[in-house]
Amino acid sequence: MTGIVRIGVEIHCQLTGLNSKLFCKCRGDYRNDLPNRNVCPICTGQPGTMPLLNNKAIDYSCMIALALGCTIPSEMGFYRKNYFYPDLPKNYQITQYDSGGIGSVGSNGKLEFGKEYARIRRIQLEEDPGRLIYEGGDMDTSFYTLVDYNRAGTALVEIVTEPDFKDAATVRAFLNKLTSILEHLGVCNTKLEGSVRCDANISIDNGKRVEIKNVGSFREVEKALNFEIIRQESLSSRNIEIKSETRHWDNERKVTKQSRAKEEEQDYKYFLEPDIPIVLLDKSYLNSIQQTMPELPDKRRTRFVEEYHLSDHVSQVLINNKEMADFFESAVRIYSSPKEIANWLVSDLMSYIGVSKTDETSLTDLKIGPRHIAELAKLVDENSISRHTAKSMLNRILRTGEMPSQLVGQFDSSKIIDEKILTKAIEDTFDSERAAVIDASSNPSVINFLLGKVLKLTKGRADPQIALSLIMDKLNKN
């Protein structure tokens, strides 16, 4: 029997919009650097160095806290979290910890997604550790381990939820909504490798909590949780103790495996960071941050429905991917046909890009822009080309980047409106689809099937309205 599942998540979000790290002037974007080149005495914790807090990181973290409905303290402080691990050059991490009235950047928030919601326990600003690189295998089988400190000290926001999730699919929906918010705020490019990472805590029937780490994507988070639920239920059914431990996700074997015993808060020996003063967050500062925040996904979805008269579903599909929503609005500014443009994006272009946040093609990887889609929509609206021809053009545009107006003469795109030609195509269709013709008298939806056959026979060039009228006339005469 399935027990009561309780899942909480910890999301680590890099503030990729910053030019420098959290406490030094090293570049915030460490990617594509040779190993251990984006480092300095401060981020590697050399004796005699002093951290200098990045003020923009405070702005960004407060934006996230406000967007998630958190309470923001009047005094925010930093602490040293002491533990020893090769990717931590200082042997401690500068992070936040709620103690003695000095809080982290936010707490007691809430995020609604669909008909569900999750409580946000806290949001804290901290520095990212370095990276461990396992040569020749994984952490268990590699020949040796290398350490790259380029990432160490990068500004990171950790978002910790309450254990409000009951299954893996709900966690995935929450993560998708959260990343949409981060993208709309402009504080994190969630498509960058390692920019958003997720650890999960899971227990069954209020038993001991197991933490899952080393999960590379949201898709893998869902798989890891499903595996861990089955593993713990299997142990429980056989009266085998479930240990409180940290487990890593083995992406190759698709299993979780034991890493180490779970640390408790007292193991980290937190104490106030002596080299960073308390940060005051007064009401005027928070009001200024609130006023400069971009439009958030829920408000944008409502605006798409009201301003562009799109359905709620189509609006939601667009704003789930900020890049796609921006693309849509840019195209509409070029040619004002919101429903037609949205249809092209959701029904056609979306199939060429990824919407799962990881390891997928981005719009920027394609040779197509808002002007291409605006031109396609306009040519179809003006009956200059058929939709079938436009789809063929789209395939060509994605490969070459040519404008639709340049391709019109290269495609047999003229619509067939000659009734003699259309009648011949309809007669051929009726001869080959006799069963469908009989069914059409009692099932009107079959008429669309017949129209589709006529369009296929004419390679999409038949004028749909004229063809449909002729089909109806012929059916009424039968």
**pLDDT tens digits, residue range 59-69?**
999 999 999 99
The string of pLDDT tens digits covering residues 430-460 is 989 888 888 887 787 888 888 888 888 877 7
Amino acid 358: pLDDT = 41
The verdict on 282 and 300 lying in the same domain is no
The verdict on 283 and 402 lying in the same domain is no
Mean pLDDT of the chain: 89
The verdict on 178 and 304 lying in the same domain is no
The verdict on 399 and 456 lying in the same domain is no
The answer to whether 185 and 13 have CB atoms below 8 angstroms apart is no
Domain that holds residue 448: 419-477
φ, ψ of residue 455 in degrees (nearest 5)? -65, -40
Can you tell me which residue has the tokens 């104490």? 271
φ, ψ of residue 86 in degrees (nearest 5)? -60, -30
Q: How many CA atoms lie within 13 A of 200 on its CB side?
A: 33
Domains in the chain: how many in total?
A: 3
The answer to whether 94 and 36 have CB atoms below 8 angstroms apart is no
The answer to whether 202 and 7 have CB atoms below 8 angstroms apart is yes
Residue type at 96 in one-letter notation = Q
Q: Is the pLDDT of residue 147 over 70?
A: yes
Q: Is the pLDDT of residue 87 over 90?
A: yes
Please report, to the nearest 10 degrees, the dihedral formed by the alpha carbons of residues 201, 60, 89, 42 taken in order.
-170
Q: Is the pLDDT of residue 478 over 70?
A: no
The alpha carbon dihedral of 188, 123, 269, 42 has a sign of positive
Q: Is the pLDDT of residue 357 over 50?
A: no
Amino acid 266: pLDDT = 78
CB burial readout 424-439, b (16+ within 10 A) else e: ebbeebbeebeebbeb
Amino acid 295: pLDDT = 97
The verdict on 261 and 314 lying in the same domain is no
Task: Taking residues 183-195, report their average pLDDT.
Answer: 93
Q: Is the pLDDT of residue 390 over 80?
A: yes
Amino acid 9: pLDDT = 97
Confidence of residue 206 (pLDDT cuts 50, 70, 90): confident
* Separation between Cα atoms, residue 437 and residue 478, nearest integer Å: 9
* Separation between Cα atoms, residue 277 and residue 428, nearest integer Å: 83
Work out the burial of residue 457: count CB atoms within 10 Å of its CB; fewer than 13 is exposed, 13-18 middle, 19 or more buried: middle
Q: Is the pLDDT of residue 428 over 70?
A: yes
Distances (CA, A) of 318 to 134, 171, 304, 363, 393: 39, 21, 9, 13, 23
Q: Is the pLDDT of residue 308 over 90?
A: yes
* Separation between Cα atoms, residue 136 and residue 142, nearest integer Å: 5
The answer to whether 14 and 155 have CB atoms below 8 angstroms apart is yes
* Separation between Cα atoms, residue 254 and residue 98, nearest integer Å: 36
The verdict on 258 and 334 lying in the same domain is no
Residue type at 147 in one-letter notation = V
Task: Taking residues 342-352, report their average pLDDT.
Answer: 88
The answer to whether 196 and 180 have CB atoms below 8 angstroms apart is no
The verdict on 50 and 150 lying in the same domain is yes
Closest alpha carbon to 155 in 309, 14, 350: 14
Q: Is the pLDDT of residue 84 over 80?
A: yes
The answer to whether 158 and 126 have CB atoms below 8 angstroms apart is yes
The answer to whether 312 and 321 have CB atoms below 8 angstroms apart is no
The 8-class DSSP code of residue 281 comes to -
Residue that finishes a domain, picked among 289, 310, 326: 289
Amino acid 359: pLDDT = 42
Q: Is the pLDDT of residue 47 over 60?
A: yes
Q: Is the pLDDT of residue 396 over 50?
A: yes
Amino acid 354: pLDDT = 53
The verdict on 334 and 185 lying in the same domain is no
Amino acid 348: pLDDT = 87
The verdict on 186 and 83 lying in the same domain is yes
The verdict on 231 and 301 lying in the same domain is no
The 8-class DSSP code of residue 459 comes to T
For position 463, which CATH number holds?
1.10.10.410
Q: Is the pLDDT of residue 361 over 80?
A: no
Distances (CA, A) of 121 to 124, 171, 173, 271, 305: 10, 16, 18, 21, 32
The string of pLDDT tens digits covering residues 209-233 is 999 987 878 889 999 999 999 999 9
Residue that finishes a domain, picked among 241, 264, 289: 289
Q: CB atoms < 10 A from the CB of 393, how many?
A: 24
The verdict on 255 and 194 lying in the same domain is yes
The verdict on 314 and 277 lying in the same domain is no
Residue that finishes a domain, picked among 410, 428, 443: 410
Distances (CA, A) of 241 to 7, 51, 233, 256, 388: 19, 45, 11, 17, 61
